[in-house]
Structure 1
């Protein structure tokens, strides 16, 4: 039985290399002492194209080899899941903290994952792409469905993590949704030693604040704040709230840095560029920002970051 005080993570696995990337990412990223994982796989059974063979009056299903094929599929996913569990055990996760769930598809792979996700998880983790061989797709069909429908549980989409995954870039915009994303990072990373950077992008004009990037809102010892614009005051206040929230969650202040970039044409492109040049393997962003348009399940900047992230991991926080 899982400890109810642990953070509970649902990891959707399908036997693909991307889903095994998710296993490796989580095994290095998550604190071992207070995290529980459910490794969850939905398998399709016999493909739809074989249904007609089953129903044919002129063919014996046993002679077609379908039953043997299905048994081999079950065996393969079982071995994959056991290997995935072993990765976590080798990293020091307690055996009772890593549970396997393997189920045959009921209503659809994405829908079955979403149904399981409603059982009190702190995050759902999936690979950006699965077994789909159409590599030109930016994200796989299951990942796209999870993004569209899983609006109440944070979703982590894992790429190949070629950069340093154990560095987190938190995109902020001063909104309440962004602050909630910061608090979420604090809760999930409490107990780890992962460095966290709060990052804000301001478009269209040159925006400057005194002090170094690392703690630009903090004046030198003994100095007073100079006169500042309304924009500078707003951004400084938002960063101060975010830092306080991380510290309240138990994040060591030495692990927290801040950075702001201004005068750029695109927020999403700048976030991706910062992640790439700064070696951040994890990008965290709120599902919605300042936009008050309630008809959309995800903000424009968030959607672009998800599409452009490539190898990085993106946490979409509701």
Structure 2
């Protein structure tokens, strides 16, 4: 008898290559094989009001053409979803644990994804797509709106689905960064390799020493937590970097040096989108790590 799976992850798809990268990312993280995967496509069909025009003289042909276009687009969406399922099943996901949902747009794409995500999902994965500049992320990409609104659910902004077993935690010693450690240990499994990284800015020797004395025992506690979750100690590295000018730049650089495909950051209790987009380290990491996946953990 198959083991019942209770954890669920939602993957938002839009027939784009970046959204398919989100599927590849989920396929590449071993722990997600213990999740029920829901592939959601919000279909941009034609409003029912438009079809009502078919009853008016002269509009019958136009409405018929639009119906044909909509049917073709839905078939494209179905093909895209089937390809996404294939990516998952080829690496060992059971077909019974993968569900596809093609849903007509109701309130708007981001709003519809959000409403679905709030129905018992443990995480959401979405392609980064147009998130190359601060202006783009603020001005309305679906991913940006999800970052703004999904304040209770981890969201993975997927770049390239590479090195999916190597994670870097941007650790600042706060309760929130400890929650990131808990999330990695409990949700992402024992097969991962992780770097716990703390970055101290500045050049004042007394400040650097005080900051090091503060963070060192907390890094030790975080490492112990991961071991207690069952992660082999040899899979955990602790890095402390001092005297740099940019924390976010150093975080992204270290992730690249150590071939980490995912950077995990926190919101620091953010409740307002302005607090996230107006200069936090987490936001800057999102902007700089364009070819990596950034997981924002609450």
Task: Name the TM-score, length of structure 2 as normaliser.
Answer: 0.86
Aligned residue number for residue 176 of structure 2: 177
C-alpha distance in structure 2 between counterparts of 1:269 and 1:277, whole Å: 12
Aligned residue number for residue 157 of structure 1: 157
Instruction: State the shift of 1:51 in Å.
Output: 8.5
C-alpha distance in structure 2 between counterparts of 1:8 and 1:99, whole Å: 11
C-alpha distance in structure 1 between counterparts of 2:273 and 2:290, whole Å: 27
C-alpha distance in structure 2 between counterparts of 1:271 and 1:46, whole Å: 45
Instruction: State the shift of 1:178 in Å.
Output: 0.5
Q: Are the aligned partners of 1:179 and 1:242 in contact in 2 as well (CA < 8 Å)?
A: yes
Aligned residue number for residue 75 of structure 2: 75
SS in 2 for 1:173: coil
Aligned residue number for residue 197 of structure 1: 195
Over aligned residues, Cα RMSD in angstroms?
3.1
Query: Structure 1's 62 and 272: CA in aligned 2 closer, same or farther, altered over 3 A?
Result: same
Instruction: State the shift of 1:248 in Å.
Output: 2.2
Q: Does 1:27 align with 2:58?
A: no
C-alpha distance in structure 1 between counterparts of 2:271 and 2:66, whole Å: 50
1:110-129 matched pairs, under 5 angstroms:
110-129=110-129
Instruction: State the shift of 1:272 in Å.
Output: 1.2
Aligned residue number for residue 91 of structure 1: 91
C-alpha distance in structure 2 between counterparts of 1:7 and 1:88, whole Å: 16
C-alpha distance in structure 2 between counterparts of 1:124 and 1:63, whole Å: 37
Q: Unmatched 5+ residue regions in structure 2? A: none
Q: Size of the alignment, in residue pairs? A: 290
Aligned residue number for residue 217 of structure 1: none
More deviation, 259-268/63-72: 63-72
Instruction: State the shift of 1:138 in Å.
Output: 6.0
Aligned residue number for residue 16 of structure 1: 16
Instruction: State the shift of 1:231 in Å.
Output: 2.8
1:240-251 matched pairs, under 5 angstroms:
240-251=220-231
Instruction: State the shift of 1:83 in Å.
Output: 1.2
C-alpha distance in structure 1 between counterparts of 2:128 and 2:273, whole Å: 25
Q: Are the aligned partners of 2:32 and 2:188 in contact in 1 as well (CA < 8 Å)?
A: no
Q: Are the aligned partners of 2:156 and 2:293 in contact in 1 as well (CA < 8 Å)?
A: yes
Instruction: State the shift of 1:7 in Å.
Output: 3.0
C-alpha distance in structure 1 between counterparts of 2:178 and 2:95, whole Å: 34
C-alpha distance in structure 2 between counterparts of 1:207 and 1:276, whole Å: 28
C-alpha distance in structure 2 between counterparts of 1:4 and 1:206, whole Å: 55
Q: Unmatched 5+ residue regions in structure 1? A: 209-227
Aligned residue number for residue 103 of structure 1: 103
Q: Does 1:256 align with 2:236?
A: yes
1:213-232 matched pairs, under 5 angstroms:
230-232=210-212
Aligned residue number for residue 168 of structure 1: 167
SS in 1 for 2:31: coil
C-alpha distance in structure 2 between counterparts of 1:138 and 1:296, whole Å: 12
Q: Does 1:272 align with 2:252?
A: yes
Instruction: State the shift of 1:297 in Å.
Output: 5.2
Instruction: State the shift of 1:120 in Å.
Output: 1.3
C-alpha distance in structure 1 between counterparts of 2:151 and 2:54, whole Å: 38
